[in-house]
Chains A and B, each alone.
Chain A
Amino acid sequence: QVQLQESGPGLVKPSGTLSLTCAVSGGSISSSNWWSWTRQPPGKGLEWIGEMYHSGTTNYNPSLKSRVSISVDKSKNQFSLKLSSVTAADTAVYYCARRDATGWFDPWGQGTLVTVSS
């Protein structure tokens, strides 16, 4: 079955750019699904960040749209998140997930904590 695994730096400096990658195994990133990012600040709820279809079509949360970029690397079967101009408010566990065409997220990666601090 499809599995996802996030990777990337656990510490980012304020005003810098957060960069994470999600490796997809057990299935092709070119399948008829969307590939998404969601985050969860410590002790808080879930916030959807954005997603990409393998064709390159993207869909971003309007609240983050000016700072977010999601891309896909079909050759490596992975997709990536970049979030620019980060502040402490961007400290969170970041999850990648596959989104079904009808809107639910399954499966999810295990998540990776990113802390924004100098």
Chain B
Amino acid sequence: DIQMTQSPSSLSASVGDRVTITCRASQSISTFVNWYQQKPGKAPKLLIYAASSLQSGVPSRFSGSGSGTDFTLTISSLQREDFATYYCQQSYTSTWTFGQGTKVEIK
């Protein structure tokens, strides 16, 4: 299975901050990475697919980049509603796997 490792596991940030979350794959996966946001007690929500494509309805302050083994999710100006846990997921092989999550907390 392809392992997806996120860093950091958690971070504290303030409203208006630029936030970057990293996801590293255990092997090269081209741009087959997707990003999700999960709020407490809620289902994950797709934010970014194919490494950099913004899902319909997702604010433009979210962006994704990367290829090969290293990927990033960036929130350009953190808003209060963005405090949540973020997961990456590889879609390169059909045993789909997720990163362990990055919790974004209020500083």
Partners in one complex: yes
B37 shortest CB reach to chain A, Å: 11
Q: Is the CB of A103 within 8 A of B98?
A: no
User: Given A45-B87, A103-B34, is A95 in contact with B43 using a C-beta cutoff of 8 Å?
Assistant: yes
In the complex with contacts A48-B95, A62-B95, A103-B96, A108-B87 CB distance below 8 A: no
Q: A45-B87, A46-B87 are in contact. Are A105 and B44 (CB under 8 A)?
A: yes
Q: How many pairs of A and B residues are in contact by the CB < 8 Å rule?
A: 59
Contacts of B92 in A (CB 8 A): 103
Please list the residues of chain B having a beta carbon within 8 angstroms of any beta carbon in chain A: 1, 32, 34, 36, 42-46, 49-50, 55, 87, 89, 91-92, 94-101
* A-chain residues with CB within 8 Å of residue B43 when the two chains form the complex: 95, 97, 108-111
Residues of A within 8 A of B50 (CB): 102, 104
Interface residue SS majority, chain B:
loop
Given A95-B43, A106-B45, 17 extra CB contacts under 8 A? A45-B101, A46-B44, A46-B87, A46-B101, A47-B98, A48-B97, A62-B1, A62-B95, A99-B96, A100-B49, A103-B34, A103-B96, A104-B46, A105-B36, A105-B44, A106-B49, A108-B43
- Contacting residues, chain B, for A104 (C-beta < 8 A): 34, 46, 49-50, 89, 91
User: Given the complex of chains A and B, what is the CA–CA distance between A47 and B100 in angstroms?
Assistant: 10
CB of B99 to closest CB in A, whole Å: 7
Interface membership of A87, Cβ < 8 A: no
